[in-house]
Amino acid sequence: KEKAKLLLKKKRFMEQMLEKTDGQLTNLERMVHDIEYAQIEIQVVEGLKAGNESLKKLHEVLCVEEIEKIMDETHEGIEKQKEIDELLSGQLTAEDDDAVLAELEQLVAEDEAKAVLELPDVPADQGEPLVVPGVPEAPPRKVRKEQRTEEALVAS
């Protein structure tokens, strides 16, 4: 009976030791898992730092204003190339056609306005006929510049 009691105590002690050891192993496994996770977090943070440094270097090289300028120049270049292509193909766009027609209408209107303004008044009396000098029948003679100057001096 004493021996059975002693064996039961020993069994209980061993079970307690086993539970305690099992708890310690669980704690160790949890600690290893936490350490591995922390190492992964450190790698992630280091990767983020490296990424941020790379972005900062890129931002130093490429500023927003410079990129906008490049994009504007690119759009201007594309528009100019389209213009050249249209000129080479000999085709006018609808906008060009409209602009040309508007300019033509403006020029025609200006010419008509000038023509109306430059017309002489109609004479009120028709008593005397208008005398138009005749056209000379002889071919015009060539007068040198020196002769004209001499004639002008003599006349004055």
Question: Which residues have CB under 8 Å from 86's CB, separation 6+?
Answer: 92, 93, 96
Low-confidence ranges of the chain (pLDDT < 50): none
100 within 8 A of 92, measured Cβ to Cβ: yes
Whether 128 is in a domain gets the answer: no
Whether 25 is in a domain gets the answer: yes
Whether 31 is in a domain gets the answer: yes
Whether 155 is in a domain gets the answer: no
Report how many domains make up the chain. Answer: 1
Domain interval for residue 16:
1-61
pTM: 0.37
pLDDT in tens, 139-156: 666 556 666 666 666 665
73 within 8 A of 67, measured Cβ to Cβ: no
CA distances from 26 to 16, 64, 150 (A): 15, 55, 131
Q: What φ, ψ does residue 50 adopt, rounded to 5°?
A: -60, -40
